[in-house]
């Protein structure tokens, strides 16, 4: 990721952090399960807690994205937990599509090609690190 992409991700996430995690999570998981219904059984328990985990994890990653060594612990934990739920490498592409769709809707007029490329670079770097740990 370039320094400019890092700043774009941080700035746009700051805008989205103002959104209620329940709303953001509901939009993300609604899209994920609509497009990829086979993923729904991987999520047990109340979705409200999953919504909060989703927003919290993104917040941690975005806050530390310019210091990859400090994200390593979270990446290792994510890799272990995802493997335990039966997540396969192809599922990361499904999540990527749902995340980008959610970000585009959440950012509205602030979404553009540069923002999209920055988030793709961020997500791809994260996914690469997770798959290396898995």
* pLDDT one-digit tens code per residue, 79-132: 666 566 667 778 889 999 999 999 999 999 999 999 999 999 999 988 887 777
Residue 80 · residue 51 · CB < 8 Å: no
- For the domain bounded by 3-133, which CATH number is listed? 1.10.490.10
Angle at 104 between CA 23 and CA 123, to 5 degrees: 95
CA distance 9 to 45: 30
- pTM for the complete prediction? 0.87
> What is the domain partition of the chain in residue ranges?
3-133
Tokens of residue 19, six digits: 């959104």
- Rounded to whole angstroms, the Cα distance separating 47 from 29 reads 9
């Amino acid at each position: 990721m370039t320094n400019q992409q890092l700043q774009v991700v941080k700035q746009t996430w700051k805008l989205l952090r103002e959104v209620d995690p329940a709303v953001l999570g509901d939009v993300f998981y609604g899209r994920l399960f609509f497009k990829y219904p086979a993923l729904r059984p991987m999520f047990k328990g109340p979705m409200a807690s999953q919504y909060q985990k989703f927003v919290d994890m993104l917040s941690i990653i975005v806050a530390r994205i310019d210091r990859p060594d400090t994200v390593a612990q979270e990446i290792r934990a994510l890799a272990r937990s995802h493997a335990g739920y039966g997540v396969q490498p192809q599922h990361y592409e499904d999540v990527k599509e749902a995340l980008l769709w959610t970000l585009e809707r959440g950012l509205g007029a602030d979404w553009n090609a540069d923002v999209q490329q920055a988030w793709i670079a961020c997500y791809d770097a994260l996914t690469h690190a997770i798959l290396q740990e898995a």
